[in-house]
């Protein structure tokens, strides 16, 4: 889950719907969709939200769901 990974890596709390953007990057889908991106390319990830999520909720999601398979929205590009 992108939201959980963002919390772990960046200490940023975002709602799961926003986390899908991070999942695209974490699951390397972005490289498949935009193969012209190289090591020197800059990518900006805009995240929002966090008003209705807490670190405790994200920890609970991780404990409940663990590592989920790649979301269907991401699978479309894999």
Whole-prediction pTM value? 0.66
Q: What is the pLDDT of residues 12-28, one digit of tens each?
A: 888 888 888 888 888 78
Q: What is the pLDDT of residues 17-59, one digit of tens each?
A: 888 888 888 878 888 889 999 889 999 988 877 788 888 888 8
pLDDT band at 69 (very low <50, low <70, confident <90, very high): low
Residue 16 burial by Cβ neighbours in a 10 Å radius (0-12, 13-18, 19+): middle
pLDDT of res. 71:
52
Q: Are 48 and 21 in contact (CB under 8 A)?
A: no
């Amino acid at each position: 889950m992108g939201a959980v990974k963002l919390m772990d890596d960046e200490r940023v709390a975002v709602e799961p719907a926003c986390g899908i953007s991070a999942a695209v990057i974490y699951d390397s889908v972005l490289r498949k969709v935009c193969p012209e991106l190289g090591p020197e390319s800059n990518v900006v990830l805009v995240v929002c939200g966090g008003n209705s999520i807490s670190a405790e909720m994200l920890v609970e999601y991780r404990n409940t769901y663990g590592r989920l398979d790649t979301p269907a929205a991401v699978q479309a590009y894999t």
